[in-house]
């Protein structure tokens, strides 16, 4: 069976151009869908796109020209706007990456191998404290340390959904141990709290990793009594300076700290 050079060229053009045309179509459809809610978003043609994308990147391996870039970065200011983003992405088939603060050395909140949009929760930072109940509702874009405590670029969204390891967990446990409720948006754009999501899903979002079981909007945490003065310090030692002996001594005394 003979195939003319023209047919081969035509086939090559179809195979090479289809993904790009589909990508462009999806991009425009997504923007059009977002326009109904007057959301703030950034595309690669926007002068602020690069600065918005890069400002929180900690691992420079994911800040190169070869790193896949989002088609759109959306910065919602309310729960309803987050719902709209999820619904638009689902309708058009766009992959969603969620970034609470971006302290993410694996790039899971801002890199994908398929066309994607970043939902940046930088504007969702409200914290409502109930002093009598000793609890607080904390939106996922907040960067307060609990119980990590020493790194101001860690967002509670990623920290809590990863379980919440920190320097104070010997005394206070993991962050997951202190979470009593949460509000998330599922793939259908529905907002669920602990009662409506069920205990299995509530268990999964407290350690199963971010961007996995839904987009968590906010967390309700138990507050803990802390001293009026808290001291944080760092100590740099090398192996030549008996670092291993120092670690061994620390392991002997650390359990006594309360």
pLDDT, residue 9, reads: 37
- Better pLDDT: 256 or 88: 88
Phi, psi of 206 (to 5 degrees): -100, 60
Per-residue pLDDT tens for 45-80?
999 999 999 998 889 999 999 999 999 999 999 999
Closest Cα partner for 105 from 140, 144, 58? 58
Per-residue pLDDT tens for 114-126?
999 999 999 999 9
- The stretch 201-207 carries a mean pLDDT of 95
pLDDT, residue 18, reads: 43
Q: Which of 3-12, 102-111, 117-126 has the highest mean pLDDT?
A: 117-126
- Better pLDDT: 203 or 16: 203
- The stretch 138-164 carries a mean pLDDT of 83
Distances 96 to 116, 163, 168 between C-alpha atoms, Å? 6, 21, 32
pLDDT, residue 145, reads: 65
Domains of the chain in sequence order: 5-120 (3.30.43.10), 127-222 (3.30.465.10)
Banded pLDDT at 150 (limits 50, 70, 90): low
- The stretch 154-161 carries a mean pLDDT of 90
> What three-state secondary structure class fits 174?
coil
pLDDT, residue 50, reads: 94
pTM of the model as a whole? 0.82
Q: With residue 222 as reference, give the H or E element that holds it.
A: strand 215-222
pLDDT, residue 257, reads: 67
- Better pLDDT: 37 or 8: 37
Rounded-to-integer distance, Cα 123 and Cα 39, Å: 12
Rounded-to-integer distance, Cα 3 and Cα 133, Å: 77
> What three-state secondary structure class fits 74?
strand
Rounded-to-integer distance, Cα 211 and Cα 171, Å: 28
Average pLDDT, the chain: 85
Closest Cα partner for 186 from 213, 166, 154? 213
Contacts of 198 (CB under 8 A, 6+ apart): none
Q: Is 76 exposed, middle or buried (0-12, 13-18, 19+ CB in 10 A)?
A: buried
CB 156 within 8 A of CB 219: yes
Q: Is the per-residue pLDDT at 23 higher than 90?
A: no
């Amino acid at each position: 069976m003979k195939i003319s050079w023209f047919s081969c060229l035509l086939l090559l053009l179809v195979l090479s151009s289809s993904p790009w045309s589909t990508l462009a179509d999806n991009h425009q459809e997504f923007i059009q869908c977002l326009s109904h809610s007057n959301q703030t978003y950034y595309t690669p043609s926007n002068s602020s796109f690069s600065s918005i994308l890069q400002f929180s990147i900690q691992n420079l391996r994911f800040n190169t020209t070869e790193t896949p870039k989002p088609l759109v970065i959306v910065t919602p200011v309310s729960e309803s706007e987050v719902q709209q983003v999820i619904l638009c992405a689902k309708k058009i088939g766009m992959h969603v990456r969620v970034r609470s603060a971006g302290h993410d050395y694996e790039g899971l909140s801002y890199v994908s191998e398929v066309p994607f949009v970043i939902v940046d929760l930088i504007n969702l930072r409200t914290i409502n404290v109930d002093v009598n109940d000793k609890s607080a509702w904390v939106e996922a874009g907040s960067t307060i340390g609990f119980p990590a405590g020493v790194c101001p670029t860690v967002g509670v969204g990623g920290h809590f959904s990863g379980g919440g390891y920190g320097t104070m967990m010997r005394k206070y446990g993991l962050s997951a141990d202190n979470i009593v409720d949460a509000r998330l948006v599922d793939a259908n754009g529905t907002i669920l709290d602990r009662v409506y999501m069920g205990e299995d899903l509530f268990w999964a979002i407290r350690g199963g990793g971010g961007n996995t079981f839904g987009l968590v909007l906010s967390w309700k945490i138990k507050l803990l009594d802390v001293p009026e003065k808290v001291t944080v310090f760092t100590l740099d030692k090398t192996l030549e300076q008996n670092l291993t002996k120092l670690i061994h001594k620390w392991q002997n005394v650390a359990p006594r700290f309360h």
